[in-house]
């Protein structure tokens, strides 16, 4: 199993010793993903946090009318997964789908709990991880309030370089909270500039 990406990610916050790397390694499950594959399906309780070793995925939920709403993209070096479902053990409302071939590391809830109990360094890592995610999300909320759809689109392209090639326009529109038709108009307008 290729541990390079995750270990260097974790080491940017805390510094793991050999034993901790080994413990982490034996907790993780590597999984190759194919383009279009459903990694997590809504309706069952989430069992893993998902770390991207390579490739792109998106997480979305499907409303009562059957429309998908994309709430997150993730690429190499990012975590994904439904924290709420994981911790409360309720069925997740989100599905996660591969947008390209790649590899993910699955981190089962039980193994995570064990690791957290045994090695306080992981407590610290996840504290900082959640802390940072929280800051980013706060920023996104502000952005959503104050910015227009066009500028949100531009900032999507900045924040997820390369992602646009892998995602259909309708999913980008969904992530931005607008209709595909309107995104189409925005792109046309931007080209003319």
Partner DNA sequence: GTAAAATCTTAACCTGGTTCAATATCTTTC
Partner DNA sequence: GAAAGATATTGAACCAGGTTAAGATTTTAC
Evaluate whether 5 touches 53 at the Cβ level (below 8 Å). yes
What's CA 91's distance to the chain center, in Å?
18
Decide if residue 13 touches its own copies (CB under 8 A). no
C-alpha span between 115 and 112 (Å, rounded): 5
Spell out the residues 6+ positions from residue 23 whose beta carbon is closer than 8 angstroms to its own: 115, 118, 119
169 binds, among DNA, its own copies, none (CB under 5 to 8 A by kind): DNA
Closer residue to DNA (CB): 113 or 143: 143
Asked if 138 touches its own copies (CB under 8 A), the answer is yes
Closest approach of DNA to the CB of residue 59, in Å:
16
Nearer to its own copies, 56 or 125 (CB): 125
C-alpha–C-alpha distance, residues 154 and 156, integer Å: 5
Binding mask 75-114 for its own copies (x = CB under 8 A): --------xx--x---------------------------
CA–CA gap between residue 184 and residue 173 (Å, rounded): 9
Q: From CA 80, how far away is CA 165, in angstroms rounded?
A: 20
Binding-site ranges for its own copies (CB under 8 A): 61, 63, 69, 71, 83-84, 87, 116, 120, 123-124, 126-127, 130-131, 133-135, 137-142, 144-146, 177
């Amino acid at each position: 199993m290729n541990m390079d990406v995750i270990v260097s990610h974790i080491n940017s916050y805390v510094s793991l010793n050999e034993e901790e790397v080994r413990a982490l390694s034996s907790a993780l499950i590597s999984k190759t993903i194919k383009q279009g594959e459903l990694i997590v399906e809504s309706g069952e309780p989430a069992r893993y946090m998902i770390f991207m070793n390579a490739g792109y995925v998106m997480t979305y939920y499907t409303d009562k009318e059957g429309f998908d709403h994309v709430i997150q993209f993730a690429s190499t070096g990012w975590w994904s997964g439904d924290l709420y479902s994981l911790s409360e053990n309720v069925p997740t409302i989100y599905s996660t789908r591969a947008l390209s071939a790649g590899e993910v590391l699955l981190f089962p809830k039980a193994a995570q709990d064990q690791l957290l109990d045994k090695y306080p360094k992981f407590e610290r890592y996840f504290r900082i991880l959640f802390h940072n995610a929280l800051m980013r999300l706060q920023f996104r909320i502000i952005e959503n309030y104050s910015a227009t759809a066009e500028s949100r689109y531009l900032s999507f392209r900045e924040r997820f370089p390369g992602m646009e090639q892998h995602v259909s326009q309708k999913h980008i529109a969904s992530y931005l909270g607008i209709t595909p038709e309107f995104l189409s108009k925005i792109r046309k307008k931007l080209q003319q500039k």
